[in-house]
A and B are shown apart, each in its own frame.
Chain A
């Protein structure tokens, strides 16, 4: 990061690779900014530890703690040795005074989170479950990298059926049933570790028509 954060050294903590920074369900009273290293966000679903995301230097996590001391919604584990800055509501003012740019970044992050939650809400409120699954792909496409060839309408997603079920708010059985229908209609192909949508525009039209109903 280009910002000089040395004044915040008293808020710095280090964790070794593999160490937990906080656990899901713990009450949250601090948020973190990664200075060096990587962390992963995991959740235990059933009897599997699922990695939801990997965060890099300059990124925040635990920022919901600024809003309310609600239980943490996921577990954060150091992927490498990491150096973090730890802020709570009390020393947040210090951060604001000393490094408003970070707080501005936080504001942008909140804007993104609000949008993400709204987008998710829109997926989940589709009654037609085929449309809901199709909309999950649209949502993932919006967040994914732009295609190199803008005329190419096929999209490859590095996701599993479980991921799709999770985002669609469906059981895995139900989601794979829907995906099977799409496969039979030759709109989708499922391969090891990835799902290919043949024509994302087709899904776009399909979801739009269902949303207008």
Chain B
């Protein structure tokens, strides 16, 4: 039980620099808290308000007292041990919240002062800083870390100063991850327990657009880049689920369309060829001018090839070569696939 203690005028409850494990509440009277400003050394005198705790921080951490507590007029003070104090505040959590606010303010101020002294915070802006971390891990071949940092960068700064470099590095790092431990990652992707719904999303099934729907919903962009990173790590199932969510939410038309394409791509890699064909065909009908149209055709071709339907595969591949310029990446991929088909026939 906390003890009520009487203090006479001009007595001292504790001195600055003392180490003590008691916490106090002023019940009645007048107590002065006397300390020195850490920077200017100027004396700070504050009266303790009745009902207010004092000596909390130093007692909780067993640190030297920051201030002296001097009795200006006869006072009654409740004295708590740390366990008694804990018992009291656990039953009155409002007190903890209030103190947390006071402490966090002090911490922020102290932190700021220290940062000022060491001249930090001005040297690097967060955008450049985050990119440089991705770059560091990429250079040091820690690809997983690089993918994480760069994906975060792209999520936070989709149109940022280093966005082009970042997405390029993220892609390369993703390939690096795949090379380093594709088997482990694939096992991880396969370990996902809940089976996602592979049926193509129907417009009727899609929930109403969210109220914050806008042309560039940052959440959609965030999810999109995260999912692309997952796909880069061959976590197609996880990626598929996120793309599916983006399409269902339909918060941002641009990322929805891109995600619909990515869903098809994931299905191909997951070996769900029938669903992939259906999904990508619906996509092309829905978006005849989809930016990834040729790639969508390519993946339809891949699906037919996967089902050993070489005739249809060839039809699609040929169509792509008619549409695409000679040196487009999709044309290069397609010619390679056609060669594979020739090999299969022999």
Binds A, one of B108-116, B197-205, B247-255, B330-338: B108-116
Q: CA of A20 to CA of B110 in the docked complex: distance in angstroms?
A: 28
Task: Tell me the A residues contacting B by CB distance below 8 Å.
Answer: 16, 18-20, 23-27, 44, 47, 49, 64, 66-68, 71, 75, 77, 96-97, 100-101, 103-104, 106-108, 110-115, 117-118, 120-122, 124-125, 169
Binds A, one of B98-106, B158-166, B209-217, B271-279: B98-106
Q: Does B323 contact A (CB under 8 A)?
A: no
Number of A-B pairs whose CB atoms are under 8 Å?
115
Q: CA of A146 to CA of B129 in the docked complex: distance in angstroms?
A: 38
> Secondary structure at chain B's binding surface: helix, strand, loop or mixed?
helix
Q: Does B172 contact A (CB under 8 A)?
A: no
Binds A, one of B42-50, B88-96, B294-302: B88-96
- Choose among B66, B113, B118, B133 the residue that contacts A24 (Cβ–Cβ < 8 A): B133
Report whether A103 and B152 are in contact in the complex, using a CB–CB cutoff of 8 Å: no
Chain A residues, CB < 8 A from B152 = 23, 26
Q: In whole Å, how far is B59's beta carbon from the nearest beta carbon of chain A?
A: 9
Q: In whole Å, how far is B150's beta carbon from the nearest beta carbon of chain A?
A: 10
Q: CA of A23 to CA of B60 in the docked complex: distance in angstroms?
A: 31
Q: Does B290 contact A (CB under 8 A)?
A: no
Q: Does B61 contact A (CB under 8 A)?
A: yes
Q: CA of A118 to CA of B112 in the docked complex: distance in angstroms?
A: 11
Binds A, one of B4-12, B141-149, B281-289, B308-316: B141-149
Task: Tell me the B residues contacting A by CB distance below 8 Å.
Answer: 38-39, 56-58, 60-61, 63, 66, 86, 89-90, 93, 96-97, 99-100, 103-104, 106-108, 110-111, 113-114, 117-118, 124, 126-127, 129-130, 132-133, 136, 140, 144-145, 148-149, 152, 156, 188
20 contacts between A and B (CB under 8 A): A19-B144, A20-B145, A20-B148, A23-B133, A24-B129, A26-B152, A64-B111, A100-B89, A100-B93, A104-B89, A114-B107, A114-B110, A115-B57, A115-B61, A117-B111, A118-B110, A120-B114, A121-B38, A124-B118, A125-B39
Q: CA of A171 to CA of B86 in the docked complex: distance in angstroms?
A: 44
Chain B residues, CB < 8 A from A104 = 86, 89-90, 96
Report whether B60 and A107 are in contact in the complex, using a CB–CB cutoff of 8 Å: yes
Chain A residues, CB < 8 A from B113 = 117, 121
Chain B residues, CB < 8 A from A112 = 61
Q: In whole Å, how far is B76's beta carbon from the nearest beta carbon of chain A?
A: 26
Asked if A114 meets B57 with Cβ closer than 8 Å, knowing A67-B107, A67-B108, the reply is yes
- Choose among A47, A71, A113 the residue that contacts B129 (Cβ–Cβ < 8 A): A71
Q: In whole Å, how far is A34's beta carbon from the nearest beta carbon of chain B?
A: 19
Chain A residues, CB < 8 A from B100 = 66, 103, 106-107, 110
Q: In whole Å, how far is B111's beta carbon from the nearest beta carbon of chain A?
A: 6
Report whether A68 and B108 are in contact in the complex, using a CB–CB cutoff of 8 Å: yes
Q: In whole Å, how far is B18's beta carbon from the nearest beta carbon of chain A?
A: 14
Report whether B126 and A27 are in contact in the complex, using a CB–CB cutoff of 8 Å: yes
Report whether B129 and A25 are in contact in the complex, using a CB–CB cutoff of 8 Å: yes
Q: In whole Å, how far is B17's beta carbon from the nearest beta carbon of chain A?
A: 12
Q: In whole Å, how far is B153's beta carbon from the nearest beta carbon of chain A?
A: 9
Q: CA of A110 to CA of B63 in the docked complex: distance in angstroms?
A: 13
Q: Which of A25, A47, A64 has the most CB of B within 10 A?
A: A25
Q: CA of A100 to CA of B149 in the docked complex: distance in angstroms?
A: 34
Report whether B117 and A169 are in contact in the complex, using a CB–CB cutoff of 8 Å: yes
Report whether B107 and A117 are in contact in the complex, using a CB–CB cutoff of 8 Å: yes
Chain B residues, CB < 8 A from A117 = 107, 110-111, 113-114
Q: In whole Å, how far is A122's beta carbon from the nearest beta carbon of chain B?
A: 8
- Choose among A27, A96, A107, A122 the residue that contacts B99 (Cβ–Cβ < 8 A): A107
